[in-house]
Structure 1
Amino acid sequence: MKNYKAIGKIGEGTFSEVMKMQSLRDGNYYACKQMKQRFESDRKSGSLALICELMDMNIYELIRGRRHPLSEKKIRYYMYQLCKSLDHMHRNGIFHRDVKPENILIKQDVLKLGDFGSCRSVYSKQPYTEYISTRWYRAPECLLTDGFYTYKMDLWSAGCVFYEIASLQPLFPGANELDQISKIHDVIGTPAQKTLTKFKQSRAMSFDFPFKKGSGIPLLTTNLSPQCLSLLHSMVAYDPDERITARQALQHPYFQEQRAAEKQALASRRKACFPEHPVAAEALRHGWQTSKEARKQKQSLKQEEDHPKRQGPAYIMELPKLKLSGVTKLSSYSSPTLHSVFGSGTNGKAPVLRPLKCVGANKKTDLQKDLKPALKQCRLPTIERKGGE
């Protein structure tokens, strides 16, 4: 705290007070939330102080004392941001439990949900604290059960804030717990018997309510669209099982314009981060074609490895002509093919095959002696075999 200078008091709650502080290092202004409860330890004693971003105002300060309600475009813009805040929290396993105009902060039309002192995990064991949330924004399951409620209570509170922004009046301004239930029944009507039965199962004290039809949501402004009223009714459904979720609310037709604008802004940011360059695009295409040719060559080489081709002679080789003696005359017919094969001088006679006599390993036959001068030794190339097979 020695690095900050107190400027003034912003607000005060049950457990803390908020001060406007100026940093002695950078000169900027911040909000300091200092807890009222002090702690004692062996090393140091004092109180916890949180330095946060300083916002311009909260929703309550925005609508307090206004004679004319905000435009529906502004209302839609704020509610879309609030539903995004709740969706982000719920998807990360936390629910707020104290959504109200004082805890919704605004700075340059940017809305942020603050004051997380009452947050709980959606996976924590029930029952929870019964007297949670500010009474006017407390869901029926928080009022009629012994602490058996879920994250759906945040949507009920957001629906109450929704109505208050649009009409500049609270929706259920109950004076106490019983009056709060009565105010809800006056507007929405008594719930179905199956809903009351679910609530009774988690309530030590039994209760019964006289039947009320309900007057409906008495909007004090007539310039709201039917889609706006549809979303509002979905958020303040009496039965939490029938109540809309934050993710479903973001997909409601009421926020169609916000979703389109958000999608366009995202596309613009992507285009700014990855501009289109024709040279880069051409290089990318060339690289793709090169890689495609490389894949083809690699596939061709793999096929050759799988099915190796038999190596043939490196040059055209002419086999020697055979000179054979001892031919007989053909009696049946003479073939021009035989003449060309046996050469001239045979007179169309076919050779007579005579058996060879083996006279020893070092002796050669007469036929081998006759053939030796006419034969040339030709060495055929060896056949390459893969894998030593």
Structure 2
Amino acid sequence: MKSYKTIGKIGEGTFSEVMKMQSLRDGNYYACKQMKQHFGSIEQVNNLREIQALRRLNPHPNILTLHEVIFDRKSGSLALICELMDMNIYELIRGRRHPLSEKKIMHYMYQLCKSLEHMHRNGIFHRDVKPENILVKQDVLKLGDFGSCRSVYSKQPYTEYISTRWYRSPECLLTDGYYSYKMDVWSAGCVFYEIASLEPLFPGANELDQISKIHDIIGTPAQKTLTKFKQSRAMSFDFPFKKGSGISLLTTNLSPQCHSLLCAMVAYDPDERITAHQALQHPYFQEQRAAEKQALASYRHTLLPEHPTAPGPARNNWHVAKEGRKQKQSLRQEEEHPQRRGPAYLTELPRLRLPGVTKLSSYSSPSLYSVFASGPHGKVLQPLKHGGANKKTETQKDMKPNLKQYRLPTIERRGGRC
């Protein structure tokens, strides 16, 4: 922590307090989540679900970024250095007289569903989705505080009283910990309504009042749904029938698509409730999907610009590319082995395939090529035609096999010099 300077306190919860810190290394500001619990070893720190979840889910544009984990072995203190956001959703809507525009609501909810989809796809569910844990910075929404998260594949039952009461799903309220990742979608639906109306959807004073508030709006569930809940509850329960006022009366200022998605997210039966992945495909987010697709196409075009190809049918493109590779290979060979110019250029002798003759690797003058040939006195040198000449010169006619007037640069001869 010596690398950071404390600026001020941002907030405090049951298990931690959050401070605003400035890094002395880069001067940037961060949020420091200081844990109130003390830890005995680094293994205990690494086994924390919050740290494991953030490491697995990062990086993602809608998940809070974890920059550094600081653990002091002597004192046992633990601090998580995270990205600093401007505010949370509760602070954004608190004290507002007029609701946000539906376009802004749509933008925030699409990002929240993106974070849930990424989290559930990676085998984690949050269990405490509420406005205080959803952070905003310059219209970018990020989900934070993974201290209550669990693995999707962990064995039930889970802890009963885990999420904040107002955002707790019916299966959390009516069973002994038999719930799943669908509870996050219910909580997100409650946040959805609160962003749109600036009021909580089910503000229960206690557990029984919370169930009553849900039944007042949605109505009592079907008998088959209650039967599912009774199978995992020690005590039985029977609710008086309520039709429910319906969410539609509370969302008259919102579009039909918005109302449709909201009802799908707060379905009483978790088996009938929409998933985060399905929510992203809802018609309500059609504009968001189109904008995201266009932004992705522009990014790819900037990152990988298209190069014009030679005109012609598409089936000949491979031939053009092949010729281009040949030209590049030829240029590369010329750079590695530059040709010499002028009369001093030497030509390599052709490879000989004569029995009993050693291969030659020497060079000769361009004016004369010589090879070994059989003669009355053994292997002798015999002139070759060069430059397209059809007749032997006078010197070549008078030349004898034993003459030593030819000069081969790499062949040494006894009693003489090359």
1:40 CA displacement: 4.0
1:25 CA displacement: 1.1
Counterpart contact for 2:248–2:259, Cα < 8 Å: no
Tell me the equivalent position of 2:86.
56
1:219 CA displacement: 5.3
Unaligned runs of 5+ in 1: 294-389
Counterpart contact for 1:167–1:219, Cα < 8 Å: no
Aligned pairs for 1:4-15 (under 5 A) are 4-15=4-15
2:290 counterpart of 1:268:
no
CA distance in 2, matches of 1:240, 1:13: 29
Tell me the equivalent position of 2:16.
16
1:271 CA displacement: 1.1
1:111 CA displacement: 0.3
In structure 2, the CA distance between the partners of 1:19 and 1:236, relative to structure 1 (3 Å rule), is same
1:220 CA displacement: 4.8
1:289 CA displacement: 1.9
Query: In the TM superposition, what whole-angstrom CA distance separates every residue of 1:8-61 from its partner, at most 9, and x where no partner exists?
Result: 100111100000001111111100000111234695223110000000000000
Higher gyration radius (CA): 1
In structure 2, the CA distance between the partners of 1:280 and 1:16, relative to structure 1 (3 Å rule), is farther
Q: Structure 1 length normalisation: TM-score?
A: 0.72
Tell me the equivalent position of 1:102.
132
Aligned pairs for 1:76-91 (under 5 A) are 76-91=106-121
Counterpart contact for 1:148–1:202, Cα < 8 Å: yes
Counterpart contact for 1:98–1:134, Cα < 8 Å: yes
Give, as a single letter, the amino acid of the residue that structure 1 aligns with 2:285.
Answer: F
1:281 CA displacement: 8.4
Unaligned runs of 5+ in 2: 43-72, 324-418
Residue correspondences, number: 292
Tell me the equivalent position of 1:67.
97
CA distance in 2, matches of 1:207, 1:60: 34
Counterpart contact for 1:106–1:112, Cα < 8 Å: yes
CA distance in 1, matches of 2:321, 2:140: 48
C-alpha RMSD of the superposition: 2.0
Aligned pairs for 1:1-389 (under 5 A) are 1-40=1-40, 44-217=74-247, 220=250, 222-278=252-308, 288-289=318-319
CA distance in 2, matches of 1:261, 1:291: 35
CA distance in 1, matches of 2:24, 2:322: 62
Tell me the equivalent position of 1:362.
none
CA distance in 1, matches of 2:248, 2:257: 16
Give, as a single letter, the amino acid of the residue that structure 1 aligns with 2:13.
Answer: G
Counterpart contact for 1:85–1:113, Cα < 8 Å: yes
Identity %: 88
Give, as a single letter, the amino acid of the residue that structure 1 aligns with 2:101.
Answer: S
Query: In the TM superposition, what whole-angstrom CA distance separates every residue of 1:145-194 from its partner, at most 9, and x where no partner exists?
Result: 00000000000000000000000000000000111001000110000000
CA distance in 2, matches of 1:112, 1:82: 7
In structure 2, the CA distance between the partners of 1:280 and 1:92, relative to structure 1 (3 Å rule), is farther
1:222 CA displacement: 3.2
